[in-house]
Chains A and B, each alone.
Chain A
Amino acid sequence: MIKTFIVGYDSTKPSERALEFATMAAKGRGAAVLVVHVLEWSPYSFLTMEEIAERHKLREKEVIRARAVVDPVCDKLRADGLNVSSEVQYGDPAEILCDLAAKHEGSIIVVGRKGTSNLASRFMGTLGISLIQASPVPVTVVP
């Protein structure tokens, strides 16, 4: 039985579709929804000295901005009677979704995809593809 739907959400159209699908599926099952917003970040990228000095300030702003995206959506779903929680984290989206999946027993990951089918995006490797290769739980990619 699926207990938690972990949804990658960043307010883009594909992620809206993913969330819509997850909420629909969760409602029927009485499962919880975990809305995850990832701020892409690599501890190995190069920063100039000025960026180092401003990093903490910028990080606080980024988290506030991300919360402003995620929180209203969660509140709306809660009003519909769903059990919703959310996470805003820094890092690689695939890694973070997999880590969270490992922590939530009986979870499944739901992400959207852009819907492009051109050759370039197949080779570039999308979030969906990385998740399918690395996820410890089933993955649903919503077109």
Chain B
Amino acid sequence: MSIFKLGAAIVAALTPALAQAQEGGGIDAAINAAVAPVSNFIVSIIFYSVQIGDVSFPLIVGWLITAATVCSLYFGFIQFRGVKHSVDLVRGRYADPNDAGEVSHFQALTTALSATVGLGNIAGVAVAVSIGGPGATFWMILAGLLGMASKFTECTLGVKFRRENADGTISGGPMYYLSRGFADLGKPGLGRALAAIFSVCCIGGAIGGGNMFQANQAAQQIANVTGGDASFFADKGWLIGLVLAVVVGMVIIGGLKSIAHVTEKIVPFMAAIYVGAGLVIIIANSDKIGWAFGQIVSGAFTGEGVAGGILGALIQGFKRAAFSNEAGIGSAAIAHSAVRTKEPVTEGFVALLEPFIDTVVICTMTALVIVVSGTLDTGLTGVELTSAAFATAFPWFPVVLAVAVVLFAFSTMISWSYYGLKATTYLFGENKTVENIYKLFFCICVVIGASMSLGPVIDFSDSMIFAMAIPNVIGLYMLMPVVKRELAQYQAKLASGEIKRHH
């Protein structure tokens, strides 16, 4: 499909919305009004909450943190015992020279990270500390550390139960370990049902958190740096969305990999600038570091000034950690399963580094910058808060952050479009027509996401991504013994010297 045709298709699909908007006020408002009721309904189901005192605790958050804790205990805190081996694997110490030309562990790690490092680390953390106070950071770090074990489990399973297609490509992920793994356990029906539920939620997650949330924050950031409310872009989220949608379409439909490569080359660079600038701000405020950590720890256990107290801080921290590093969600298992490795456990070892880099390092840094910069009391939230915090030290930083946000958003969208695509092909089989319909719909959602105000978008994207955790975590519990056997076999091979270091 040519790029022009693609653009025309997107415009055509949006024409009814555009026409309606001309009668009423603003295209953004029209799209908002259309999507909000659906999104609210889904959110209320996924985030079913129990009242504890005067706060509501979403059960799904407890579900994820329980899974992470169980995985940590079951594998004897593999995230701490195995971390050295993880680093050795990523450094290629165990890479067989004869396998050169296959995907390396380093490549698998960076590709999976490019899907998770992004707005969650910049905007999500700001939402967490603005609602949950500095104490939310503590719970976020704890959730990140525990999440390393669930990531280890799901990515090992992803490789173990993947399917090799006739053409030499590989399909894997929770939909395959749910269906094939449960068949091995003698429960093929349950497995297929869970796999189908997962796939539906994964498509929703790809559209929600992997797409609309990203487009929304990118549009908001562009409007902010071009003059806030007075900006030409202030009420033209749809226009930014349209441009983004065409570029995304060029990559996922048009197959223009060069665009993806260019962004992916810039993304690590932007990440380095972000982390570097954060470190400079923290060091410049070194007198406040002790105080900031004090705030984080005391806030975690007193919940002072936070709606809902300790529990309020905890929920925010846990939610953001899960949303950012996606441990227990099952998404990374799709990416890692495509890597050709003889030992499934090696991908688990590599993947457990992701929540650490994503949450424990990058998210914590964002939170620290916000706390030490003193911008937490400004009433801002989301990417605006992070932007304001960095601007206290570098007035030009919002522009850099805007570029970073757009690029992060873009790379996350490309990665998630793949997750959603794999879920689609699992449900409907390898079918070019279905694939193209999915891709076109994905592009349209970029425009919708960029147009909506933050509230409905963030709720909807949270809910769909978290929904994936329901079938996935059931799978983790049931298939954990498989991972334990794989781990034991692998460790025995390491000890006997059957698997040896090559470098």
Contact = CB atoms under 8 A, between A and B. Distances in A.
Interface of A: 39, 41, 43-57, 59-60, 62-63, 89-91
B170 interface: yes
B107 A52 contact: yes
Contacts of A49: 111, 115, 334-335, 338, 414-415, 418-419
Interface stretch (B36-44, B223-231, B236-244, B256-264): B256-264
Contact of A48 (B101, B102, B257): B257
B102 A56 contact: yes
B100 interface: yes
Nearest to A55: B103
Nearest to A59: B101
- Chain B contact residues: over half helix, strand or loop, or mixed? helix
B7 interface: no
A47 B100 contact: no
Contacts of B102: 55-56, 59
B168 interface: yes
A62 to B, nearest CB: 7
Nearest to B418: A49
9 contacts: A43-B106, A46-B111, A48-B261, A49-B335, A49-B414, A49-B415, A52-B335, A56-B103, A63-B101
B298 interface: no
B95 A43 contact: yes
A89 B100 contact: yes
Interface residues of B, number: 33
- Chain A contact residues: over half helix, strand or loop, or mixed? helix
Interface of B: 92, 95, 100-104, 106-108, 110-111, 114-115, 167-171, 257, 260-261, 264-265, 334-335, 338-340, 414-415, 418-419
A104 B221 CA distance: 59
Contact of B339 (A52, A57, A89): A52
Nearest to A49: B418
A43 B92 contact: yes
B100 A43 contact: yes
Contacts of B101: 39, 41, 59, 62-63, 90
Given A52-B111, A52-B335, A53-B338, A46 B261 contact: yes
A137 to B, nearest CB: 20
A57 B165 CA distance: 10
B308 to A, nearest CB: 38
A46 to B, nearest CB: 4
A63 B340 CA distance: 17
B257 A45 contact: no
Nearest to B411: A48
A62 B418 CA distance: 24
